[in-house]
């Protein structure tokens, strides 16, 4: 993500999609749905269009692949003016994901994913190879899923297939209209993380519409906050939008807790994890455990199982109580955080755990270290500082 | 649902429904029709063996005559159904395209009022216009049976999820490709149900063709009535009913096997 942030400065030069004063007025209405919108989407960036419902963000997205024909203005795609080219040919070069997914119920998963390659006239072996590759990419076993029908999939699986289908002919650009909007929050969170991981590899140019500011902050390299008629209220990186809302409209739209939202941007792997937290293993004796606890500044120590996964919190009373075995006393470790979790997740776990700390585990569930509330507070402070500096910088630039 | 209902039951029924049933009657419909046909056949055989059959009745029910009438009957029903499909399906497709959508309601209203005319009246109307013969009947039946196919084509195409069409168009399918690869396959079950209705209507209607010299099994019924030979009338009507039942059953089978998988 940070890579794309850096390139945002030079956006115009390498814009893959360029909208130039694009306007859409629907027949029979006075006010334009989209009013002279000029927008650049640089290569490899996720640009989020976010705004209240009815602001024209979906219309804007559909103008790019000409599902809706613009009333005036130009659309430039990979340096080529596509305002008047054959829209069907254009769309075969652009991946498209919609909220309702719209899988073809009468076609197998493989046929669904192979739709665009088939339209482009690829031969069967090539399509079949591509389908398997895409299924694996979205984490679904090809031999299990390729011959199933959409009705046999869960919502999350269907959305994965929807994304795989959009990537069918390896387009450079993806347009996504609230792709995770109709999915339960837990699955949505997982799909978002998976998608970001995928994007880190694929580096597609993505225009992503949502009405959910938290999703925008999490997914976007840059965010365009749109007001009426798709007027851009602010277009910037999530960090800077949170730190310096351009006006009252943006502020209202962000709602409270901008800094808290900022915690959605940082991941556990990016911050330093406190090492040296006192831990004991199943074979540790009571005396050794007591010594370990007393030699640290902590009130609790952590019991790991044979695999190294955290299992229980023990305090001094638990350790010295001879009536209960160490493995059965104290409190169980209910939640752990992984390197890919956001600091917002970590903070939530900490507040739940009542220890003011959260166990970080690696991808195998092994204990890796501890995050403390103070670490997160420090992150918040440094984010606020960075935001202040950024805005001062911008004001200085604006003045000169 | 009570707690005692076995958990497997709903899944079991769903499987039965999707693999064995047609959308209206359930799989029982597929069994009932042959049973009814067999009962009818049994009754006809019983009547034939027990009733008092005189020479006039034998003359009316002569094998070669019946065969000829049977062929004429099928000929009329088949051709009128072919014409119905040829007119109603394209018309239905046209009336669901954005440009012609606004004509859908007027056309459907017109087609419904057409069906309100008594079938016999429609036949006579065509007779005074075109004259005698099986083709006059075929044209009249075609007009009469258009409504179910037209209505089902329109309903079938309209019930296709807009999101599915949007997804197809958004990936670069042309309008024609979206129609051919998405809309039509997904409306096949509904359209087929309309065609099945039209087919059965036409088989019943073909019994009227005799009144304008179109032939068909109506001749046997008519002769039986005129000559007061109830057995002959019953046999003629019974054969028409059997034909309708068998064709309906075959159409139900076709519905099942032509329905796209996964839907």
Rounded mean pLDDT for each run of 10 residues along chain B, 263 residues in total: 35 34 60 92 93 88 92 94 96 94 90 81 89 90 92 95 95 95 94 94 92 90 92 94 94 88 82
Q: Do B262 and A91 count as a contact with CB atoms less than 8 A apart? A: no
**pLDDT greater at residue A71 or residue B114:** A71
**Mean pLDDT in residue range A383-388:** 73
Assess B102–A contact: CB distance below 8 Å, yes or no.
no
**pLDDT greater at residue B41 or residue A384:** B41
Assess B185–A contact: CB distance below 8 Å, yes or no.
yes
Q: Give the pLDDT score at A398.
A: 64
**Which one of B170, B174, B186 has the shortest CB-CB distance to A96?**
B170
Q: Give the pLDDT score at A3.
A: 43
pLDDT band for position A145 (50/70/90)?
A: very high
Mind listing the pLDDT tens digit for each residue in A74-98? 999 988 899 989 999 999 999 999 9
Q: Do B171 and A96 count as a contact with CB atoms less than 8 A apart? A: yes
Q: Give the pLDDT score at A247.
A: 86
Q: Give the pLDDT score at A6.
A: 40
Q: How far apart are CA B238 and CA B249, in angstroms?
A: 16
Assess A118–B contact: CB distance below 8 Å, yes or no.
no
Q: Do B164 and A96 count as a contact with CB atoms less than 8 A apart? A: no
Assess A396–B contact: CB distance below 8 Å, yes or no.
no
Assess A353–B contact: CB distance below 8 Å, yes or no.
no
Residue among A84, A88, A73 nearest A35 (CA): A73
Say how many CB pairs under 8 Å bridge A and B.
75
Is the distance from CB of B187 to CB of B156 less than 8 angstroms? yes
**Which one of A106, A166, A168 has the shortest CB-CB distance to B262?**
A106
Distances in Å between the Cα of A91 and the Cα atoms of A51, A119, B55, B163 are 25, 11, 76, 16
**Which one of A96, A101, A106 has the shortest CB-CB distance to B261?**
A106
**Residue A356, pLDDT above cutoff 80:** no
Assess A68–B contact: CB distance below 8 Å, yes or no.
no
Is the distance from CB of A356 to CB of A350 less than 8 angstroms? yes
**Which one of B163, B182, B261 has the shortest CB-CB distance to A100?**
B163
**Mean pLDDT in residue range A133-154:** 94
Task: Please report which residue ranges of B21-133 form alpha helices under DSSP H.
Answer: 27-50, 55-60, 63-96, 104-116, 119-130
Lowest mean pLDDT: which of A132-146, A155-169, B11-25? B11-25
Chain A interface, best mutation among B172, B173, B177, by max A CB count within 10 A: B172
Q: Give the pLDDT score at A394.
A: 63
Q: How far apart are CA B91 and CA B154, in angstroms?
A: 9
Sequence-distant (≥ 6) Cβ neighbours of residue A17 within 8 angstroms: A39, A40, A41, A64, A75, A76, A77, A173, A205, A207
**Which one of B169, B177, B262 has the shortest CB-CB distance to A107?**
B262
Chain B residues whose CB is inside 8 A of the A91 CB are: 169-172
pLDDT above 70 as % of chain A: 93
Is the distance from CB of A171 to CB of A95 less than 8 angstroms? yes
Q: Do B166 and A67 count as a contact with CB atoms less than 8 A apart? A: yes
Q: Which residues pair with A208 in a beta bridge?
A: A48, A176
Assess B262–A contact: CB distance below 8 Å, yes or no.
yes
Other CB atoms closer than 10 Å to residue A6's CB: what's the count?
Answer: 11
Assess A121–B contact: CB distance below 8 Å, yes or no.
no
Q: Do B262 and A150 count as a contact with CB atoms less than 8 A apart? A: yes
Look up the ipTM and state it.
Answer: 0.78
Chain B residues whose CB is inside 8 A of the A103 CB are: 164, 167
pLDDT above 90 as % of chain A: 43
**Mean pLDDT in residue range A368-387:** 82
Chain B residues whose CB is inside 8 A of the A181 CB are: none
Is the distance from CB of A191 to CB of A159 less than 8 angstroms? yes
Distance (Å) from the alpha carbon of A33 to chain B's nearest alpha carbon = 20
**Which one of A88, A98, A105 has the shortest CB-CB distance to B262?**
A105
Residue among A162, A174, A273, A252 nearest A219 (CA): A174
- Phi, psi at A210, each rounded to 5°: -150, 160
Chain B interface, best mutation among A90, A101, A102, A151, by max B CB count within 10 A: A102
Q: Give the pLDDT score at B113.
A: 80
Chain B interface, best mutation among A88, A92, A149, by max B CB count within 10 A: A88
Chain B residues whose CB is inside 8 A of the A90 CB are: 172
**Mean pLDDT in residue range A109-129:** 96
pLDDT band for position A103 (50/70/90)?
A: very high
**Does domain B25-257 correspond to CATH entry 1.10.443.10?**
no
Sequence-distant (≥ 6) Cβ neighbours of residue B37 within 8 angstroms: B242, B245, B246, B249
Q: Is the dihedral of CA B86, B87, B90, B92 positive or negative?
A: negative
Token digits of residue A308: 């190294």
Q: Give the pLDDT score at B7.
A: 35
Chain A residues whose CB is inside 8 A of the B262 CB are: 105-108, 149-151
Task: Please report which residue ranges of chain A form alpha helices under DSSP H.
Answer: 2-7, 57-64, 87-91, 109-113, 115-119, 124-137, 142-145, 155-166, 185-202, 213-219, 238-243, 248-254, 258-262, 286-294, 316-320, 343-353, 373-399
**Residue A14, pLDDT above cutoff 90:** no
Is the distance from CB of A266 to CB of A382 less than 8 angstroms? no
Domains of chain B, by residue range, sit at 25-257
Q: Give the pLDDT score at B6.
A: 35
**Mean pLDDT in residue range A94-111:** 94
Q: Give the pLDDT score at A319.
A: 84
Q: Give the pLDDT score at B12.
A: 34
**Which one of A98, A105, A162 has the shortest CB-CB distance to B166?**
A98
Is A196 in a helix, a strand, or coil?
helix
Cβ under 8 Å to A: B residues 116-155? none
**Mean pLDDT in residue range A376-400:** 73
Q: How far apart are CA A65 and CA B88, in angstroms?
A: 35
Distance (Å) from the alpha carbon of B204 to chain A's nearest alpha carbon = 35
Chain A residues whose CB is inside 8 A of the B174 CB are: 88
Assess A227–B contact: CB distance below 8 Å, yes or no.
no
Residues in chain B: 263
Other CB atoms closer than 10 Å to residue A140's CB: what's the count?
Answer: 18
**Which one of B163, B172, B262 has the shortest CB-CB distance to A92?**
B172
Q: Do A119 and B177 count as a contact with CB atoms less than 8 A apart? A: yes
Q: Do B166 and A91 count as a contact with CB atoms less than 8 A apart? A: no
Mind listing the pLDDT tens digit for each residue in B117-156? 888 888 888 899 988 888 999 999 998 899 999 999 999 9
Sequence-distant (≥ 6) Cβ neighbours of residue A369 within 8 angstroms: A273, A274, A275, A277, A360
Q: What is the DSSP letter of A74?
A: E
Is the distance from CB of A153 to CB of A174 less than 8 angstroms? no
Token digits of residue A18: 């360029």
Q: How far apart are CA B75 and CA B70, in angstroms?
A: 8
Assess B186–A contact: CB distance below 8 Å, yes or no.
yes
The radius of gyration of chain B's CA atoms, rounded to the nearest angstrom, is 22
Is B206 in a helix, a strand, or coil?
helix
Distance (Å) from the alpha carbon of B180 to chain A's nearest alpha carbon = 13
Residue among A182, A169, A62, A157 nearest A113 (CA): A169
Q: Which residues pair with A46 in a beta bridge?
A: A206
Chain A residues whose CB is inside 8 A of the B168 CB are: 102, 104, 115
Assess B6–A contact: CB distance below 8 Å, yes or no.
no
């Amino acid at each position: 993500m940070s890579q794309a942030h850096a390139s945002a400065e030079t956006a115009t030069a390498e814009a893959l999609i360029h909208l130039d004063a694009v306007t859409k007025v629907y027949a029979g209405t006075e006010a334009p749905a989209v009013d002279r919108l000029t927008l650049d989407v640089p290569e490899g960036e996720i640009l989020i269009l976010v705004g209240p419902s009815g602001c024209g963000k979906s219309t804007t997205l559909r103008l790019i692949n000409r599902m809706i024909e613009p009333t005036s203005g130009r659309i430039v795609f990979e340096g080529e003016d596509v305002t008047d080219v054959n829209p069907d040919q254009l769309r075969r070069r652009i991946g498209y994901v919609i909220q309702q997914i719209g899988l073809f119920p009468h076609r197998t998963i493989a046929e669904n994913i192979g739709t665009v390659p088939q339209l482009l006239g690829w031969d069967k072996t090539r399509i079949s190879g591509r389908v398997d590759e895409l299924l694996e990419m979205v984490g679904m076993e090809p031999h299990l899923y390729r011959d199933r029908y959409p009705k046999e999939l869960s919502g999350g699986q269907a959305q994965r297939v929807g994304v795989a289908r959009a990537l069918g002919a390896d387009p450079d650009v993806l347009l996504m209209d609230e792709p995770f909007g109709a999915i339960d929050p837990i699955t949505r969170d997982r799909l978002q993380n998976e998608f970001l991981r995928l994007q880190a590899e694929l580096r597609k140019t993505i225009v992503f519409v949502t009405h959910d500011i938290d999703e925008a902050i999490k997914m976007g390299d840059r965010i365009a906050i749109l007001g009426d008629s798709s007027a851009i209220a602010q277009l910037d990186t999530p960090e800077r939008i949170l730190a310096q809302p351009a006006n009252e409209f943006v502020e209202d739209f962000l709602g409270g807790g901008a800094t808290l939202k900022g915690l959605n941007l940082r991941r556990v792997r990016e911050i330093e994890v406190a090492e040296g937290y006192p831990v004991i293993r199943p074979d540790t004796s009571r005396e050794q455990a007591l010594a370990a606890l007393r030699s640290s500044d902590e009130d609790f120590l952590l019991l790991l199982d044979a695999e190294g996964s955290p299992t229980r919190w023990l305090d001094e009373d638990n350790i010295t109580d001879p009536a209960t075995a160490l493995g059965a006393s104290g409190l169980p470790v209910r939640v752990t955080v992984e390197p890919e979790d956001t600091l917002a997740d970590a903070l939530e776990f900490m507040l739940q755990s009542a220890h003011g700390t959260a166990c970080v585990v690696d991808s195998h569930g092994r204990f890796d270290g501890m995050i403390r509330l103070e670490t997160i507070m420090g992150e918040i402070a440094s984010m606020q500082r960075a935001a202040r500096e950024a805005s001062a910088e911008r004001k200085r630039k604006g003045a000169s | 649902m009570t707690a005692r209902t076995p958990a497997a039951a709903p899944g079991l029924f769903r499987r039965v429904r999707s693999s064995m049933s047609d959308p209206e009657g359930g799989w029982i419909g597929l069994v009932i029709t042959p049973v009814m046909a067999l009962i009818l056949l049994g009754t006809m055989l019983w009547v034939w063996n027990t009733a008092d059959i005189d020479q006039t009745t034998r003359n009316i029910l002569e094998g070669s005559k019946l065969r000829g009438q049977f062929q004429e009957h099928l000929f009329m029903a088949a051709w009128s159904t072919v014409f119905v499909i040829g007119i109603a399906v394209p018309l239905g497709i046209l009336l669901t395209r954005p440009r012609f959508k606004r004509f859908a309601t007027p056309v459907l209203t017109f087609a419904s009022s057409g069906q309100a005319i008594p079938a016999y009246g429609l036949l006579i109307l065509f007779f005074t216009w075109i004259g005698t013969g099986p083709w006059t009947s075929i044209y009249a039946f075609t007009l009469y049976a258009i409504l179910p196919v037209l209505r089902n084509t329109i309903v079938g195409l309209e019930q296709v999820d807009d999101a599915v069409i949007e997804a197809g168009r958004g990936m670069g399918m042309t309008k024609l490709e979206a129609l051919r690869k998405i809309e039509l396959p997904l409306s096949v079950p509904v359209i087929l149900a309309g065609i099945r209705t039209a087919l059965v209507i036409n088989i019943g209607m073909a019994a009227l063709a005799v009144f304008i010299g179109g032939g068909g099994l109506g001749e046997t019924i008519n002769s039986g009535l005129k000559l007061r030979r109830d057995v002959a009338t019953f046999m003629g009507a019974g054969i028409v009913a059997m034909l309708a039942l068998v064709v309906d059953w075959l159409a139900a089978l076709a519905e099942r096997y032509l329905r796209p998988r996964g839907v």
